[in-house]
Chain A
């Protein structure tokens, strides 16, 4: 149980285009989802936290108009990187936590974005 999927697993796009990444909780309802960014050989940096049906809360320094997050249902959250630039190239990981009282977050397999 507690499986989180991400799609796509990798994507290459041209500078100036937008890319949408999906995060799904497959076997539980995720009341809270998190989006992280990870640079090579570095730790995870929290970008934003979203609760189902509410606006996402962004961490300081993260542009909310560039990284659009939607958490429309208890099993799906999306991250859209708008007008992508090469510096947005990174490994994006989502995680989810349910409402069952469990404390741990479950992580998706990640999406590697390369902007050319």
Chain B
């Protein structure tokens, strides 16, 4: 079974400071990893993904994430946070082994609050 853990329910950061949202995963096959952001009463917006290749992945709105196989982590980062980055962030994993199916498993979500 695959799973995702986001250890922090909420992250508070001052505007202009670096932002990190933590994510660890467990999957049998090769991990396909994703980050999504959700604003209130809205669906999820795709930020970035890791499938293969360079461990550092750059995505939308200045976000990036680093895949660390040994630590089974995929932390989301932004060098300088904006107030508009305040939202709910979800990490997700899918097993790259086709026999495992198409199921995307989400973490519990981390609420980010960026204060001016």
Binding site for B on A (CB under 8 A): 4, 6, 32, 34, 42-44, 46, 49, 91, 93, 95, 97, 103-110, 112
Assuming the contacts A43-B107, A44-B106, A46-B103, asked whether A107 and B32 have C-beta atoms less than 8 A apart, the reply is no
Residue among A6, A42, A107 with the most chain B CB within 10 A?
A: A107
Task: Give the 10 A-B residue pairs with the shortest CB-CB distance, closest first.
Answer: A107-B43, A107-B44, A109-B43, A110-B43, A43-B106, A43-B108, A44-B106, A108-B43, A104-B46, A43-B109
Among residues of A, the one whose C-beta sits closest to the C-beta of B108 is: A43
A106: contacting residue among B41, B46, B102, B106, CB under 8 A: B46
Verify A34–B106 contact, CB threshold 8 A. Answer: no
Contact A104 B34 (CB under 8 A): yes
Residue of B nearest to A57 (CB): B101
User: Inter-chain contact count A-B, CB under 8 Å?
Assistant: 49
By secondary structure, the A interface counts as strand
- Would A43 and B43 count as touching, CB distance under 8 A? no
Most chain A CB within 10 A, of B45, B102, B103, B105, is at B102
Mark out the residues of chain B between 18 and 37 whose CB falls within 8 Å of any chain A CB in the assembled complex: 32, 34, 36
**Knowing A97-B102, A103-B51 touch, does A6 contact B32 (C-beta < 8 A)?**
no
Bound Cα distance from A105 to B49, whole angstroms: 11
CA distance A109 to B39 in the complex (A): 10
| Cα distance, A80 to B36, chains bound together (Å) | 26
Interface string of B61-104 (1 = CB under 8 A from A): 00000000000000000000000000000100010000001111
Shortest Cβ distance from A92 into chain B, in angstroms?
A: 10
